[in-house]
Amino acid sequence: MNKRKKKNKNLGPRRKRWGRKVRMENAKEWVKTYTGKNIIKGYSKWYAVDLICAMNELEMLGYPITEKQKKGVYESIETKKKQKEARKLKRQQDELSDFEEAGFAFVAGYTEGGMPFGITWDELDESDEDFISPSSQTIDIDDEDLPF
Q: Is residue 87 part of a domain?
A: no
Domain-located, residue 89: no
Residue 43 in domain: yes
CB-based contact 51:78 (threshold 8 Å) = no
Tell me the percentage of the chain whose pLDDT exceeds 90: 53
123 found inside a domain: no
Count of domains for the chain: 1
Give CA–CA dist 71/61, Å, rounded. 20
| Dihedral sign of CA atoms 40, 42, 44, 46 in order | negative
Assigned domain for 16 exists: yes
Supply the range of the domain harboring residue 18: 12-65
Q: Coil, strand, or helix at residue 48?
A: coil
- Mean pLDDT across the stretch 114-120? 82
State how far the Cα of 140 lies from the Cα of 91, in Å rounded to an integer. 59
pLDDT, greater one: 84 or 145: 84
For the chain, what percent of residues have pLDDT higher than 70?
Answer: 86
The closest alpha carbon to 55, from 31, 73, 82, belongs to 73
Instruction: Say if 42 falls within a structural domain.
Output: yes
Residue 107, domain member (yes or no)? no
Residue 20, C-beta contacts closer than 8 angstroms, at least 6 positions apart: 57
Choice between 106 and 71, residue whose per-residue pLDDT is larger: 71
How distant, in Å, are the alpha carbons of 57, 67, 133, 135, 147 from that of 139?
Answer: 90, 87, 12, 10, 16
- Write down the pLDDT at residue 142: 78
Is residue 77 domain-resident?
Answer: no
**Whether the model pTM is above 0.85:** no
Q: Is the pLDDT of residue 102 over 60?
A: no
Distance in angstroms (rounded) separating the CA atoms of residues 99 and 124? 17
